[in-house]
Structure 1
Amino acid sequence: MQLFNKTIVITGGTSGVGLELVKLLSRNNQVSVVARSAERLNKLKHAFPHLQTFQADLSNACTYPNLAEKIISSTPKIDILINNAAVQYPTTFIDNTFVYENVAREINTNLTAICSLCFLLLPALKQEESSYILNINSGLALTPKKSSAIYCATKAALRSFSQSLRYQVIETNIGILEAYLPIVDTPMTTGRGANKISAEKAAIAIIKGLEKERQKNYIGKTRFLPLLLTIAPGLARSMMKRS
């Protein structure tokens, strides 16, 4: 696929990997960005005046129909939907700092919003001869870690959802793609993890996979996970249990 003159919608596009995707893809395409912070969207719009921006809190499921209506109203045809937005609250259920309300926020942002937007934006995705939904996932979808149980569960569910949706749309014009990221140096991972790849490097790898229409794009160290889980599943799980 040539990423030129495409109409692209990116969620979570004001920071981290999403921001780097916006910077790279907006050079030759019409990009619309969905994000929670109106302030960040205004700054992004100032830096890239040709962008379309939509403010929405994806942790609130009530916002999805109105958001989709606004997107379709201004962008009747969508070539690529990139579901990038995600949150992670790295606490365990037995920590005194665990916030119960974050359970719904994390599930809605990481999973419910993606399922909903895939459906609600179908009318615009169906307008093109070929269109794509790209779900940004994590290596944690393959094997969870000790902390962030909800985050890991949503990523595993996203993996299953992507595969099932691929079966459903196999006879349509829509392709379902996935990108699996290792730990990336973003605001979400500040103070956690080591040997992170940069958000820019992650975005470049995502775009390369998109250009090749790769159904499953394992980036960085995640490319070893499927093999490790096959030949030494106990070792892989032991490593993640300690993280």
Structure 2
Amino acid sequence: MKNSGNTIFITGGTSGIGRGIAEAFHRLGNQVIISGRRKALLDEVTQANPGMHGIELDIQDPQQIKAVAAQLVKNFPKLNVLFNNAGIMPFDDAAGEIDDHVAVATVTTNLLGPVRMTSALLPHLKQQKDAVIIHNSSVLAFVPLAGTAVYSATKAAMHSYSLSQRFMLAGTGVRVVEIAPPWVDTDLVFKSGDSRAMPLSDFIAATMRGLESGTDEVYVEQIQALRDNPGSDEHTFVNAFNQSLKENPIPTGH
């Protein structure tokens, strides 16, 4: 995709990857609009980046999604890029009882949120030049982390959805791009400085290069083996991956 001259809406843009990507695009001269649930955080980010706009949005609320989509089309008629970034990553126990409220919130935020947001904006995006939909999935779409079973499942679903949507939109002028981050040192789980986590600045730089390259999937070289995992012997790979993390757990801040 082109790296400047866009009008870009980013969900979950007040922290972590969302904020990093928003600020990177902002520095390149794009019109950037971010959303989040907390006005104070929106104000903090937009004040630090003059010219950036913020819109309050609870991505779990389908009526808010429709209202925000209508507001965006009215106030930013040149909107041509949607970045579905908002997500939550609660730990769970697939071998025991999973809190239903947390499970529903995870599915609603990580899967239904992007589906609804995309659906609401697609009629407008189809009328734009250089229109792009970016879905933020995860390396866990390909190799699930057993301790975040529901989260991993939602990201696998987003990968599948991206593949289907890309096929269905072929010839419409709307591109579908999937970003599959590795473990990035953000507060999605716990910003710990763990050496296994990719520094946010490094990830943003690599991702911006990937987006500019025009590839349909953007992921860093370090996760190539995990991206290539799906196959008839994936159980062995997944078990080994999870065993290694069981022996050296991801810090959660608790």
TM-score by length of structure 1 reads 0.92
Does residue 180 of structure 2 align to residue 183 of structure 1?
no
Question: Partner of 1:29 in structure 2?
Answer: 30
Cα distance in 1, alignment partners of residues 62 and 89 from structure 2: 17
Query: 1:77 touches 1:127 (CA, 8 Å); kept in 2?
Result: no
Cα distance in 2, alignment partners of residues 196 and 211 from structure 1: 24
Question: Partner of 2:217 in structure 1?
Answer: 216
Partner SS, residue 53 of structure 1: strand
Does residue 62 of structure 2 align to residue 61 of structure 1?
yes
Does residue 196 of structure 2 align to residue 198 of structure 1?
no
Query: 1:179 touches 1:219 (CA, 8 Å); kept in 2?
Result: no
Question: Partner of 1:168 in structure 2?
Answer: 168
Deviation at 1:124, TM superposition (A): 2.5
Deviation at 1:34, TM superposition (A): 1.0
Cα distance in 1, alignment partners of residues 119 and 231 from structure 2: 34
Query: 2:133 touches 2:176 (CA, 8 Å); kept in 1?
Result: yes
Distance 1:66 1:138, change over 3 A: same
Partner SS, residue 200 of structure 1: helix
1:45-87 deviations in Å (ceiling 9; x for gaps): 2112211211111123332111211111111222211111110
Question: Partner of 1:240 in structure 2?
Answer: 241
- Unpaired runs of 5+ residues, structure 1, are none
Cα distance in 1, alignment partners of residues 106 and 220 from structure 2: 23
Query: 1:91 touches 1:148 (CA, 8 Å); kept in 2?
Result: yes
Q: Tell which deviates more after alignment, 28-37 or 201-210.
A: 201-210
Query: 1:182 touches 1:220 (CA, 8 Å); kept in 2?
Result: no
Cα distance in 2, alignment partners of residues 191 and 185 from structure 1: 5
- Unpaired runs of 5+ residues, structure 2, are 246-254
Amino acid in the other structure paired with 1:32: I
Query: 2:178 touches 2:217 (CA, 8 Å); kept in 1?
Result: yes
Deviation at 1:164, TM superposition (A): 0.5
Does residue 102 of structure 2 align to residue 102 of structure 1?
yes
Measured on the aligned residues, the alpha-carbon RMSD in Å equals 2.0
Amino acid in the other structure paired with 1:150: V
Query: 2:72 touches 2:79 (CA, 8 Å); kept in 1?
Result: no
Query: 2:89 touches 2:188 (CA, 8 Å); kept in 1?
Result: yes
Deviation at 1:241, TM superposition (A): 3.4
Query: 1:89 touches 1:151 (CA, 8 Å); kept in 2?
Result: yes
Deviation at 1:94, TM superposition (A): 5.3
Runs of 4+ in 1 over 4 A off after TM superposition: 93-96, 191-194, 228-232
Query: 2:107 touches 2:150 (CA, 8 Å); kept in 1?
Result: yes
Tell me how many residue pairs correspond in the alignment: 242
Cα distance in 1, alignment partners of residues 90 and 231 from structure 2: 29
Q: Tell which deviates more after alignment, 5-14 or 233-242.
A: 233-242
Cα distance in 2, alignment partners of residues 188 and 53 from structure 1: 20
Partner SS, residue 2 of structure 1: coil
1:9-45 deviations in Å (ceiling 9; x for gaps): 1111110011111111102110010111111001112
Distance 1:71 1:198, change over 3 A: same
Deviation at 1:165, TM superposition (A): 0.4
Partner SS, residue 26 of structure 1: helix
Cα distance in 2, alignment partners of residues 113 and 45 from structure 1: 23
Amino acid in the other structure paired with 2:108: N
Cα distance in 2, alignment partners of residues 113 and 163 from structure 1: 17
Cα distance in 1, alignment partners of residues 236 and 96 from structure 2: 26
Distance 1:183 1:124, change over 3 A: same
Q: Tell which deviates more after alignment, 45-54 or 184-193.
A: 184-193
Amino acid in the other structure paired with 2:122: L
Query: 1:60 touches 1:105 (CA, 8 Å); kept in 2?
Result: no
